[in-house]
A and B are shown apart, each in its own frame.
Chain A
């Protein structure tokens, strides 16, 4: 900032500047969906960046009160449409917890393998689009090429490429065949060296580092204040992953690390840290799948829960680690065939709320870097 005394009359600094109000979105390539950000700029500097949401609100919670327990799953798929499997798994586990149903071992194996594949697919999308935001088109093509292979696997097991309806209360809707196991294995062999290649291509690229280091710094206290979760926490150097710390399903039987940011390129908790955490999580997901692929037990892939599910009266809050953070379902049942209330604690909804604080004082171009590093999906923000 230039103080008033140092301005010389007649120089360019004495020119009067005005604040400019810009609407970024709802249709904008780098808002990753229908997000509208109301930006007030002073030249190139952002003064406020207020996110306005609700353009994709589809009354998920109202719908869940009006349909049966199982019929909610297609709606859950549409929350975070880049990680449908993880969402549906979270909801199914919440209902199973209320029911007190034990899921068969085979189903647990299939679920975790598929959920980790979905995590890779989701992080590949994030890697690709983040590269695109930063002006690197190649990353986008590579990310989508590899994501396509995972989608092919999902298409074989469920028949759909985006919204699968595969995870089901009590297990999975369909079984997987040895042929699919082989396909997953060959994908892993192909994909394993690629993560390092992509790191060389994008993460350690000089221009990319310059664009993302020291930008959008979120420290740990801010994470707690704003209830941020997932990659935001780990990017701020806090080793917290529900799969490790409050293990569910069969995660306590597999070995994997929880990557955290360390401020390698600049400040701890900057955009680069969050990006590299996602890249390293893909490697850990590969490790998890490799450990599970060989030992998938025989048996049923779904517990017997009956065609019409009746959940005993009660309430419960259960949460799972999704690619974008902690997805929680607060479910109240009155003993009927449908829910009395389903509240979705969406990680993206809480993560995007921090944008106004992060945006203040940034350059306009850095705001794009910040939004990209939050990796939001508007389907989950608006529900």
Chain B
């Protein structure tokens, strides 16, 4: 099943929730309405045979401005991956429904997205940071993240701030 076929099927099933086709190269993506993510993924899993959820990634677009959650449902039957992009307002903690009740593997992926981008997944059973320490302030993968000078009294090396000026390969 090609991307266009999947898109047509989704468009007929959810005329309101499928917003547009993003003609990015090499892989196109489907722009979706964030609040309908659960219904779309359930439909893809049960009807279109996208058995598993390969990946959940966050992307920060300060220019739009938006925070984006990208889902990659994966099909073993059709041997393909489709990208679903849900754009959220770029606020302190925007929210999107969790999909942990559809795919248990989404649990950690959503925790990671929360940890890095501060996107809240409503209804998540274990909503904590996963890679950063629990008392970490800020969301590191946002484009405007500033590394703190001190963490628990320890000086934090200036990895990113000094890099462009000195070109030491990231080590200040």
Whether A343 and B57, one on each chain, are in contact in the complex, defined by CB atoms closer than 8 angstroms, is yes
A332-345 to B contact mask, C-beta < 8 Å, 1/0: 10000000010101
Residues on the B chain within 8 Å of A67, using CB: 169-170
Residues on the B chain within 8 Å of A319, using CB: 54, 81
Whether B55 and A328, one on each chain, are in contact in the complex, defined by CB atoms closer than 8 angstroms, is yes
Nearest opposing residue in chain B for A346, CB measure:
B55
Whether B108 and A66, one on each chain, are in contact in the complex, defined by CB atoms closer than 8 angstroms, is no
Whether A330 and B132, one on each chain, are in contact in the complex, defined by CB atoms closer than 8 angstroms, is no
Instruction: Select which of A57, A341, A343 is within 8 A of B55 by beta carbon.
Output: A343
Q: Indicate whether B27 reaches chain A with its CB closer than 8 angstroms.
A: yes
Of B6-14, B87-95, B99-107, which stretch is located at the interface?
B99-107
CA distance A61 to B112 in the complex (A): 12
Whether A54 and B57, one on each chain, are in contact in the complex, defined by CB atoms closer than 8 angstroms, is no
Whether B140 and A98, one on each chain, are in contact in the complex, defined by CB atoms closer than 8 angstroms, is no
Interface size of B by Cβ–Cβ distance < 8 Å?
Answer: 41
Whether B105 and A54, one on each chain, are in contact in the complex, defined by CB atoms closer than 8 angstroms, is no
Q: Which of A57, A227, A319 has the most CB of B within 10 A?
A: A227
Query: Known contacts A54-B130, A226-B104; is A66 also within 8 Å of B170 by CB?
Result: yes
Query: Known contacts A54-B132, A343-B57; is A59 also within 8 Å of B140 by CB?
Result: yes
CA distance A63 to B170 in the complex (A): 8
Instruction: Select which of B26, B108, B133, B163 is within 8 A of A316 by beta carbon.
Output: B26
Query: Known contacts A315-B29, A316-B27, A317-B83; is A54 also within 8 Å of B131 by CB?
Result: yes
CA distance A345 to B160 in the complex (A): 23
Query: Known contacts A54-B131, A341-B59, A343-B55; is A353 also within 8 Å of B108 by CB?
Result: yes
How many residue pairs between the two chains, A and B, have CB atoms under 8 Å in the bound complex?
A: 102
Residues on the A chain within 8 Å of B163, using CB: 66
CA distance A287 to B106 in the complex (A): 37
A346-383 to B contact mask, C-beta < 8 Å, 1/0: 00011001000100000000000000000000000011
CA distance A316 to B24 in the complex (A): 8
Majority SS of interface residues in chain A?
mixed
Q: Which of B57, B59, B141 has the most CB of A within 10 A?
A: B57
Interface residues on A, range: 35 or more
Residues on the B chain within 8 Å of A224, using CB: 51-52
Q: Indicate whether B76 reaches chain A with its CB closer than 8 angstroms.
A: yes
CA distance A350 to B81 in the complex (A): 17
Residues on the B chain within 8 Å of A57, using CB: 131-132
Residues on the A chain within 8 Å of B74, using CB: 227
Q: In the complex, what's the smallest C-beta–C-beta distance from B122 to chain A, in angstroms?
A: 21
Whether B140 and A349, one on each chain, are in contact in the complex, defined by CB atoms closer than 8 angstroms, is no
B33-70 to A contact mask, C-beta < 8 Å, 1/0: 00000000000000000011111010110000000001
Q: Indicate whether B72 reaches chain A with its CB closer than 8 angstroms.
A: yes
Q: In the complex, what's the smallest C-beta–C-beta distance from B55 to chain A, in angstroms?
A: 4
Whether B130 and A53, one on each chain, are in contact in the complex, defined by CB atoms closer than 8 angstroms, is yes
Nearest opposing residue in chain A for B23, CB measure:
A314
Please give the residue numbers on chain A whose beta carbons come within 8 Å of chain B beta carbons, in ascending order.
53-54, 57, 59, 61-63, 66-67, 71, 97-98, 100, 223-228, 238, 240, 245-246, 312, 314-317, 319, 326, 328, 330, 332, 341, 343, 345, 349-350, 353, 357, 382-383
Q: With A66-B163, A240-B76 given, name 15 new contacts (CB 8 A).
A: A62-B140, A67-B170, A100-B26, A224-B52, A225-B104, A227-B54, A227-B55, A246-B79, A314-B24, A314-B25, A315-B29, A317-B55, A317-B83, A332-B59, A345-B57
Give the 4 A-B CB pairs with smallest separation, nearest first.
A227-B105, A343-B57, A314-B25, A226-B105
7 pairs, CB–CB < 8 Å, chain A vs chain B: A67-B170, A223-B52, A225-B52, A227-B52, A228-B105, A341-B57, A341-B59
